[in-house]
Structure 1
């Protein structure tokens, strides 16, 4: 019983102390709310100047810090998300600055290349061999070039003539086949007309076929005549070309013979000069040998005279 009384007394005292503390704190708060407080004076903050603009493109953070070998910007030995590049600054401005510099390099390189090529072509340092140079080709070689060019031109003309002949022959064959079919139809209509008669439409067709046959016969006659004249003209042109070619070959043979004769004459003169030089050399050697023998005889005579 006494234990319960002591416990109740302690709880009562503790409750009184807590109540006094609450009353004291509440009174202080009310007094603080009633008394007006003056606001602190405003602080003047200096305006910060904007950072200076740099012409360099934005860089990733942490690029300027020196780190130990084998470590990342975050300080660890393994990469984390903080080590990834982060966008910084205006992308359009940085891209425009880089692109302007690249365009300037491209334009300057193109102008330098064009100027170098133009100077090389104008000064003659670079030759593109657009034309056949005069040197070191001789007249005979130039004539060979002309003959080769003429041969190629004749081959081209011959190919064109063969193509034209093939086209004309094909057209003539087609029209002849059509005329043959029309002739068979005309014969059939004429036979039917003689046997039992034909209608007005078939009569008109028969008259049309007869007119077309007559027109084809006239055209075929003119076409064959034209082809014969064309062949004669081609033969005439071929004969003229063959005549010109023969004259040219004859002239070339004459020039070649003259050149060969001139070369033989020059070779004979050179051989004659070599023979003359050889004889003079042999004569000089003989004279030298005689002088040597004479000197030996005189030396022998002098030696004998000295011995006596």
Structure 2
């Protein structure tokens, strides 16, 4: 490192000396030009340029190949830079790295907290709105009533779809079990016929008994299922009647409100018409009074004339 500093110092000194020489030459030339009077420029003859010098140019120091150089030095006398002149790290790397990383983590956490606090304050104060929910629209009573009717219609359609789906699933299950019972019945009849004709084996006898038990169980299940479906249909019919009754009452109430609203509007319109008629009569009365005053003034003017 010291060698680099010494070389830098020498270069700066040489540069300063060269700059001083340039400044000195430039200043002396300007002073000579100022000292020469303007009228004497014509009288002075132009001096011819000096003849070229025959002397050989100066040689670069160390340009002689026969000159012996010291190891580690340039021809000009400067010393070579080596790896030992490079800057070397000092101190514990992990300690310095941990200190820097702790500082960076502190800056990161403080930035996150500041951003979160700013966002929370903006949301709590109402300055920032993220539109998480649908804002309430100022609908009137008629529009709200139409929305309620539409919502009720959609709910009824959904319930009807669910009932149809449930009926389809139950009908499919009933059809599958009936088909299987029919196949089992055919097998049972075949085994019974074979038993009457020539006898059957023990395995076939067990199968016949199992089929008979399954047939009896299916008959009981089918009876209960049909009864359940009938009760379910009655319950649905009852619910439909109750809904129809509620709907009729609601429609009646809506019709009543509509009639009251129409009557109120007619009453308000009649009052406005009455007010307009009253204002018209007052204007006519005022115009008549003005006409009378004008006629009276004309008569007085004619009498005075």
TM class by shorter-chain length?
Answer: 0.5 to 0.7
Distance 1:290 1:101 in 2: 99
**Which deviates more, 189-198 or 274-283?**
189-198
Distance 1:149 1:158 in 2: 14
Return 5+ residue gaps in structure 2 as ranges: 3-87
2:161 to 159, 162, 166: 159
Q: Which residue in 2 is equivalent to 1:25?
A: none
Q: Which residue in 2 is equivalent to 1:276?
A: 278
Q: 1:238 to 1:171 in 2, by over 3 A?
A: same
Q: Which residue in 1 is equivalent to 2:79?
A: none
1:109-146 Cα deviation digits (max 9, x unpaired): 5434433443344344556474774x734555555444
Q: 1:151 to 1:109 in 2, by over 3 A?
A: farther
**Which deviates more, 146-155 or 177-186?**
146-155
Q: Which residue in 2 is equivalent to 1:66?
A: none
1:163 CA drift (Å): 2.5
For CA contacts below 8 A with separation 6 or more, give which structure has more relative contact order: 2
Distance 1:293 1:94 in 2: 112
Kindly report which structure 2 residues correspond to 1:163-242, keeping only aligned pairs within 5 A, or say none: 163-242=165-244
Q: Which residue in 2 is equivalent to 1:292?
A: 294
Distance 1:160 1:182 in 2: 33
Distance 2:276 2:102 in 1: 79
Return 5+ residue gaps in structure 1 as ranges: 1-47, 49-87
Distance 2:303 2:105 in 1: 103
1:239 CA drift (Å): 0.9
Q: 1:232 to 1:94 in 2, by over 3 A?
A: farther
Q: 1:110 to 1:165 in 2, by over 3 A?
A: farther
Q: 1:108 to 1:152 in 2, by over 3 A?
A: farther
Q: Secondary structure at the match of 1:197?
A: coil
How many residue pairs were aligned?
217
